[in-house]
Amino acid sequence: MRSIFTRVILGLAVLATASEIKAQQDPHYSNFMFNKLTYNAGFAGATDGKICATLLYRDQWVGFGGGQSSAGLQRGDAPKNLVGSLNSNIGKHIGLGLTIVSDELGFQKTVVPRLALSWRQDVGSDGNLAGGIGVGYMQRNLDGDKLKAIDPNDPKIPSGKVSGSAIDLDFGLYYTKDNLAGMFNKFYAGLSATHLNQNKITYEYPQGRSTVDAKMHYYFVTGAEYDINSNLTLQPNIIVKKDPAKVQTDLNCFLVWHQNLRGGLTWRPMDAAVVLLGYQFPMGKQDLYIGYSYDITTSRIIKYSSGSHEIVLRYCFGVVIPHTTPILRSRYTPRFM
């Protein structure tokens, strides 16, 4: 969704004006099905009672750059994203999740630690509905030394590094059902919004000031499993993302062999075709998954970059958090007898 047009406009906005820079976009991920906590606070606690840690790295548009553009962008300006998360439940009804997102784009870097809290409620015999809120602290850093101004004395261009920060709020709903219509297993659906408060971060420097505006993003995600036979499972996944620029859809399908080895394809219209591979290591109560994806660029950016790489690691600890609260019983002590 991060088009080259947005990149150029962003650079020109910093160079040419001290007014607001609008429509800052969230990064997107090809392994969105393993990274739900990043964009849906309702996913907090949806870990089957385990404590799960996830690490994801995305190197987007490899080779993009190749020098300095008229907008002041330099080699290596393609987005690079790193996400770490920790997710678990506390008892039956409460989910708790922590994410840290680092999004780097040339002269600007955004870091957002976020805490998500959800309330989970059983629905029917095998369903569960959760609603969650996320509270984050967004910090943006801009390196003015990486910008090339047409006029070196332009008072609107910051010299050196500037930064700003603001509170960031999210909300999400997440629903799961073990069996859907007698055909699909592990069905899930989520609806969420990020940047509810649409925070504004202002860079202030001796020559002037500029403002970065965080706009709301909306997400819908769904998926399920279909057992072809005892060895093969089909796993379709869909995500729809709405941001200030456009609507983007990822249509994904995995084929899983023995619940361990998986291969999949994703079609992102007018952007990329994605090849995904992954393996889940059988480790008893523990769970280790390693995945890789490669985006084959199909948009006009193919002239400058062949694609994007993404790696995801997920480890669920062997400790299982009980879903029930222990009953406290009265005990006598000699002190009070």
* Beta bridge mates, 304: none
Using CA atoms, how far apart are residues 223 and 186, in angstroms rounded to an integer? 8
| Residue 65: both structure tokens together | 């750059």
Using CA atoms, how far apart are residues 143 and 160, in angstroms rounded to an integer? 6
Q: According to the CATH classification, is domain 4-320 in 2.40.160.40? A: yes
- pLDDT score, position 122: 96
State the pTM of this model. Answer: 0.84
Using CA atoms, how far apart are residues 300 and 302, in angstroms rounded to an integer? 5
pLDDT digits (tens, 9 = 90+) for 20-68: 444 457 888 999 999 999 999 999 999 988 999 999 999 988 876 654 4
Higher pLDDT, 286 or 289: 289
Using CA atoms, how far apart are residues 316 and 288, in angstroms rounded to an integer? 7
pLDDT at 112 over 50: yes
- pLDDT score, position 245: 85
Q: Label each residue of 10-23 as H, E or C.
A: HHHHHHHCCCEEEE
Using CA atoms, how far apart are residues 51 and 45, in angstroms rounded to an integer? 9
Domain boundaries in the chain?
4-320
